[in-house]
Amino acid sequence: MVTKTTSGVKVSVNVKFCPKTSFLEENSFIYKYTIFIENNTEQKVQLIKRNWHIFDSLNEPYEVEGFGVIGLQPILDIKQKHQYSSFCEIKSDIGYMEGYYEFLNLNTNKRFKVIIPRFPLFYPWKAN
């Protein structure tokens, strides 16, 4: 698990390769990632947007952005936590993801970025 705290918001990521939904012969490598977000600020905050940078060793990097996460824009009170899971497909056996969330401080109405730490997308049975 990788973890990073930005502006008092802690983001931790756990990632797993999904062998049952991946099709290696078709260069389809599926990874499930679970994100844990913890509000360690002294203010109520809301996750507004996400921005992912996805890197695949055989293809051009690309971005995915949108409002909220998995259809939600969760509000986190002081010390509150939020967790969600999603999936990513890459076309090679090595890659990584990283990015940021845009949060809104509901007390000051100011937006701020929270870093999503880089985490590997690595096929666990890759031969050296």
Q: Give residue-wise pLDDT tens across range 20-49.
A: 999 999 999 999 999 999 999 999 999 999
36 contact partners, CB below 8 Å, separation of at least 6: 10, 11, 12, 13, 14, 81, 82, 83
pLDDT computed for residue 128 by the predictor: 53
* In the chain, where the domains are located: 2-122
Count of beta carbons in the 10 Å neighbourhood of residue 115: 15
User: Check: CATH 2.40.40.20 for 2-122?
Assistant: no
Burial class (CB in 10 A: 0-12, 13-18, 19+), 98: middle
Q: What is the pTM of this model?
A: 0.92
Tens digit of each residue's pLDDT, the chain (128 residues): 999 999 999 999 999 999 999 999 999 999 999 999 999 999 999 999 999 999 999 889 999 999 999 999 999 999 999 999 999 999 999 999 999 999 999 999 999 999 999 999 999 876 55
